[in-house]
Structure 1
């Protein structure tokens, strides 16, 4: 079987300090997505976490990016920041009715991020996973959950998400809970350790390490230095790896992502 496709990207594309550091001087703001998508293979959209976007926005983003480019989207906080997750159905439905599938073949993974105070309740979390649709408007959907409480570091949680083919976001080189288990036919990692003193965000050694880890994930293996709760190997073949350079020294993130991608060519 062919090795998984590895995509490396950033969060969003509108960030003033990127003008002149990542974006060329004189590039108009309306062309920033076009430029970013010519240098990177994926972008995670954070705005969908805070509120609904419009169908025409998704259509515009799809039109401005090249063939093969993929967006991942944050699920809305109205679905995840609640006491009873089983009651999230209306918020999830509203999200999908907002036009996310207008991205069509450029729709990547849907990342459902939870607050650090949210603890694992097996029955309630299972009910939430049951609410996540497998498809919408004829487009197959892939889901990842980003949990940030150590109560999720259990065999029961890993078995639950694996049963639903849902990925656990690996929050690497950060203070967040790390769960490196490969639980779906794709891997979703967010790395957060860039430093402004490093021209490319990370040292050359660290860039080499992240590229090597991406290759391990593509083989369905949990890389060295990444902490897993259960198995060190995926139970199903991995088809895609999504690696996002997020937070940290944000001004350096596009160059870090490009440097990792270069090492994967």
Structure 2
């Protein structure tokens, strides 16, 4: 389903609405065809009260899934903000040191950001990231910062702050890579679609003696259900699709060559 999450929201909505519309029409036709063959008394015996618990369960699950995807999105965005802020702090503190040291630190920070944009972001979009490890660029950057010979209290303080800021950037990067694998699993999607289907069947049974009422009621719920599915699916994977966390903040921080 990776291709689905990478679609623009409009096309994602077209597919979801079309799929649910077909399923709704199929349920409508089957139930009313059975009603025409004498099943109406049995269908009408189904109490409309059955809709209440089904709707409550459906609403709760949709609410929990929305909370999950929005929380993942906020965590992903927060990780990128922290990483960008920490790298910016490193660059600002590097100005205290001699030009050769500053230039080397700026070059390593630029490589860190370039690797994140060119390599990590496409992998995160495909959810193909591995467990986060410190790469060669970050190791070299730490070695450079640690090897700086401080001259005076100001440079010693700046060196300590740079080490702390760079560790914050590495922690934020690790969190970003971990969050990129977050998504709603197939079991949760199955439950949502199954409950939605049960509600559509129940609506059709309750209104099986009136085709127009059944069509209107089923259409209204189908539209609401499709809207919920599109809402959740478009936010499902934090770094995938049209609504995703971009590396724009890191690019704003990246020093020029």
Question: TM exceeds 0.5?
Answer: no
Structure with a larger share of its residues in strand:
1
Which entry has the higher C-alpha Rg, 1 or 2? Answer: 2
Q: Per the shorter chain, which TM-score range? A: under 0.3
